[in-house]
Each structure stands twice: as structure tokens, then as C-alpha cells.
Amino acid sequence: MAIEERSSAINASALQTNLRGQVIQKGEAAYEAARRVYNAMIDKRPALIVRCADVADVITAVNFARDHELPLSIRSGGHNAGGLGICDDGLVIDLSLLRYTHVDSDRRTARVGAGCTWGDVDHATHAFGLAVPSGIISTTGIGGLTLGGGLGHLTRTYGLAIDNLLEATTVLADGSVVVASEQQHPDLFWGLRGGGGNFGVVTSFLFRTQPVDTVYAGPMLWELEKAPEILHWYQHLITTAPEDLNGFFAFLTVPPGPPFPEHLHNKKVCGVVWCYTGPLDRAEQTFQPIRQFRQPALDLVGPLPFPALQSMFDALYPPGLQWYWKADFVKELSDEAIRLHMQHGPQLPTLQSTMHLYPVNGAASHVSNNATAWSYRDATWAEVIVGVSPDPAQKETITDWARAYWTALHPYAESGAYVNFMMEGEGDERVRAAYRENYERLSQVKRHYDPANLFRINQNIQPAL
């Protein structure tokens, strides 16, 4: 039976009867808003969206999709650039109602429902002077970001999000529920840490929290013409700095509004967004040589609560923009790579388009490449080139710029990219390249937990034969 015939034959009211949550179908008032994801370039029309209220609902939805042979996608925060949280003609498990964060300050852990955004987690943990390492935008979902790895402001200090994951409660393809940890289902736990949504639906995450409260952080910007020397200097600094200093490099356009001074509005610049987590009374001293290297055009670095850093760029990137991403891991910025960055980076086609180099060294590199599914611990950066625009008419412009930039730099990068920075449909070879020598083991774990590849709307790992 074709997918369309199957989806018209499904009895959604029978499904609704077994749920505490809600089934949303095509034609219903809530459908249009419910199918929308963060990247407005994605326009998929699922047959059913199941807003699960609890684990029992997730089990019911998994069983229903499997028994009706429906394509199945899993949605946590809906931020995936390739739109992997949603699907055409299938069933979407929407986890947004599973929204709770319980902090145990004695054990320094946080149990987090799969529908939380990182802003929810930051809010709950900050009250105890704690934080879970995550990304750089507070509206991103914890589900996709964690299962893909999770890198951000605390990576050099406390590792990836997965390095702070202790347990994942997971609904498997057969509808059973397991808790994966180092002790229980260790093979599944290994695969979940980087393998994305390939193995099941994680309904709750138990994280180790870290003592992060007020940080000394923010953006420091320099004129574009200084970018080559800043890149050379930054490369040396970030590969030798103490691990309590994080900083990602960016080409960006200065937004036309406060807190940016008028003379910089709409100017293309380069910058580093710093996050220092060491003792505050040593912060000025740590930044003295940084500030002395080249006079910044703007220095907004200072003490601020960690959640303020985490949400600093939210307003610049509201939901509903067009996004096109290209990514790679990078070990070294050679002179030629810097020359090519200077050729493409300053051509940013829109206000929100950018190129970021996120350090994955420091604490993240203390874990070996095969200790978790995330195989690029030996890279220095995760590079991402993002074309972003509010205007659908600029879709081609932003896509062409990101592709040309990536194509020029790819020969100077590793063959694989961070899965969370990849678009849909980049191909099996790119997925294999993302996991390198870990792919074969992932494929075995997939065969054990999801032999029929029910969970395939993701950067898909094929079950071993």
C-alpha cells in the first residue's frame, strides 16, 4: 500500500482514545502551527502529529506508527535545520509537552523531560548555581542537540552535552522502555551519545550538572581587515589556552540596534564570542593579553549570568527564518584556508548569515574517539556556514553562498561534519564520514535495537545485515 493510501486508512480516533495527549490531523485548526518547524525553508505535511503527554503516549505512538507502517519522526525542539523533526505523510511524535527539569542539587544532577528547550534547563539549573553544557541558543531543543553531541560555550571546560549525560530513558522500536546508562544497556548508551535519534525515542535525560553561575563572557569584534591576523592568533590561543576559556570565531554583520554603537551598524566584522568560567577575580587578568593583541572595534565582554549568555543571540534568530547549513570538522587553519575564509566570509549575503568555528578541543578531547559514538574528538573545530534570511526570495542566494564557501574550504577540512550541522539528504557517505570508524559499531547497535529501521528520519545509520 502506498503511504498516502495507508495514511488515509488510519483510524486516528482509535489512536486518540489511547492517549492523554492530542492527535492533530490535516484539516484541523491546530495543524498548520503544529507542523511548522524553526527553519521556515522546511514545508512538510505529516498525516498525524501526536503531542505526547507522557511515556505511555510515546509507547502508543511508536506502536501505532510501526503497525501502520507510517514514516515516523521525532520532534523535541524542532530546531533541526534539515527539518528532521517532521515528515511528509507520516506520524510525528511531538515531545513538547514533556517539559520539566528537576534539579537534585545534592547529587548535582538534572532530570530533564525531552520537550524542554535549553532555556528551560538553564533557568532551572541556574537557581542552584549549576549548568548543563549545551549550545549557544536557548530555544534549541534538548533532544536533538544532546543526541547529536551538543557543543557550545562550555565545551572546552566541561565537554559535550553527551559527556554530561548519565542516563536516557528510551522507548524502543518494539514499544518497550529501557533506561540506558554506563551500567544498563551500555551499547545503546554508547550509540545514543552522538548517534542522534537512530535508536528510539528518549523521553527523559539525566545530566550531570556543572558549577557554572556568573561567567565573564560576550562578543569581541574586530574590523574585517584584521581578520587574517586575528584568525592566526586565535588558532594559537584557543589550542593552548586553559580549559576554563572558551571562544568561538565568527564572521558576522553587526545588527542595527542596541547594544551596538551606530557607527558599527550593518558593518561586516569578525569576532570571537568568549565564555570564561574560571574565578571572576582572575577574569581581567585572563583577558588582558586578549584585549592587548589588537584593539577590538567593540568589546562587550564582562560578567553576566550564564543564562543571559545562552539567550544573547535568541532575538537575532527568531523562529521562521530561512536557513541553509554546510559544515565540516577542521583540524588546522592553514594559510591557504585563511585566505579562502577571507575570500568567502566577508561576502555574508544577509544580516543573519554567519560562519562559526566552535572549538571541540579542551575537555571534549579528553574522551577518546570511540568512547562514545561522536568520533571527532581529535578535531579542533566544528565549522558551520549558515545562510540565513527572513525572506523566502533569498533562499537561493543564501544557499549558493554557503555551498560555494563550503566547497572552497572542504579540501582543507576533515571529510566528516557534526551531524547536528548537516541538512537532510546529504547522503549515506556523509553520514558514514561523520562517524568514521564508529559507523560499523553503530550499525550493529542499530540492528539490535531497530532492525527494521523504524527510526530512519534522521542522519540515518543503516542496520548491519
Ligand X SMILES: Cc1cc2nc3c(=O)[nH]c(=O)nc-3n(C[C@H](O)[C@H](O)[C@H](O)COP(=O)(O)OP(=O)(O)OC[C@H]3O[C@@H](n4cnc5c(N)ncnc54)[C@H](O)[C@@H]3O)c2cc1C
| Binders of ligand X in range 202-231 (CB under 6 A) | 202
Check binding of 445 to ligand X (CB under 6 A): no
Q: Quick one: which segment of 1-9, 148-156, 331-339, 345-353 binds ligand X (CB under 6 A)? A: 148-156
CB of 117 to ligand X, least distance (A): 8
Check binding of 274 to ligand X (CB under 6 A): no
- Give 248's strand partners: 273
Check binding of 352 to ligand X (CB under 6 A): no
Residue type (1 letter), 342: M
Query: CB-wise, 338 or 449, nearer to ligand X?
Result: 449
Instruction: Give the Å distances, CA to CA, from 104 to 150, 179, 210, 279, 410.
Output: 22, 19, 12, 24, 44
Check binding of 385 to ligand X (CB under 6 A): no
CB of 84 to ligand X, least distance (A): 3
Instruction: Give the Å distances, CA to CA, from 436 to 375, 414, 430, 442, 446.
Output: 7, 11, 10, 10, 16
CB contact at 8 A, 155 and 246 = yes
Q: Quote the CA–CA distance of 286 and 261 in Å, as a whole number.
A: 26
Kindly determine how many residues on this chain lie close enough to bind ligand X according to the rule CB under 6 A.
Answer: 36
Query: CB-wise, 312 or 457, nearer to ligand X?
Result: 457
Q: Which of 7, 25, 60, 80 binds ligand X (CB under 6 A)?
A: 80
| Binders of ligand X in range 280-339 (CB under 6 A) | 317
R_g of the chain, CA atoms, integer Å? 22
Check binding of 51 to ligand X (CB under 6 A): no
Q: Quick one: which segment of 15-23, 76-84, 265-273, 442-450 binds ligand X (CB under 6 A)? A: 76-84
Contacts for 439 with CB less than 8 Å, ≥ 6 apart: 431, 432, 461
CB contact at 8 A, 180 and 204 = no
Cα–chain center distance at 349? 23
Check binding of 121 to ligand X (CB under 6 A): no
Q: Quick one: which segment of 77-85, 225-233, 427-435, 443-451 binds ligand X (CB under 6 A)? A: 77-85
Check binding of 144 to ligand X (CB under 6 A): yes
Dihedral sign of CA atoms 392, 393, 396, 402 in order? negative
- Give 117's strand partners: 141
Query: CB-wise, 135 or 416, nearer to ligand X?
Result: 135
Check binding of 443 to ligand X (CB under 6 A): no
Query: CB-wise, 144 or 340, nearer to ligand X?
Result: 144
Instruction: Give the Å distances, CA to CA, from 300 to 237, 253, 304.
Output: 19, 15, 11
DSSP-derived secondary structure for 28-65? STTHHHHH--SBTT-----SEEEE-SSHHHHHHHHHHH
Check binding of 417 to ligand X (CB under 6 A): no
* Contact pattern for ligand X over residues 157 through 196, marking x by CB under 6 A: ---------------------------------------x
On the CB side of 435, CA atoms within 13 Å amount to 24
Q: Quick one: which segment of 5-13, 79-87, 329-337, 407-415 binds ligand X (CB under 6 A)? A: 79-87
CB contact at 8 A, 72 and 172 = no
Check binding of 135 to ligand X (CB under 6 A): yes
Query: CB-wise, 73 or 209, nearer to ligand X?
Result: 73
Residue 117 is classified by DSSP as: B
CB of 449 to ligand X, least distance (A): 12
Q: Quote the CA–CA distance of 141 and 123 in Å, as a whole number.
A: 14
CB of 113 to ligand X, least distance (A): 9
CB contact at 8 A, 58 and 28 = no
Q: Which of 71, 141, 159, 218 binds ligand X (CB under 6 A)?
A: 141
Which chain residues interact with ligand X by CB under 6 A? 38, 73-81, 84-85, 95, 114, 135-137, 140-141, 143-145, 147-152, 196-197, 201-202, 317, 420, 457-458
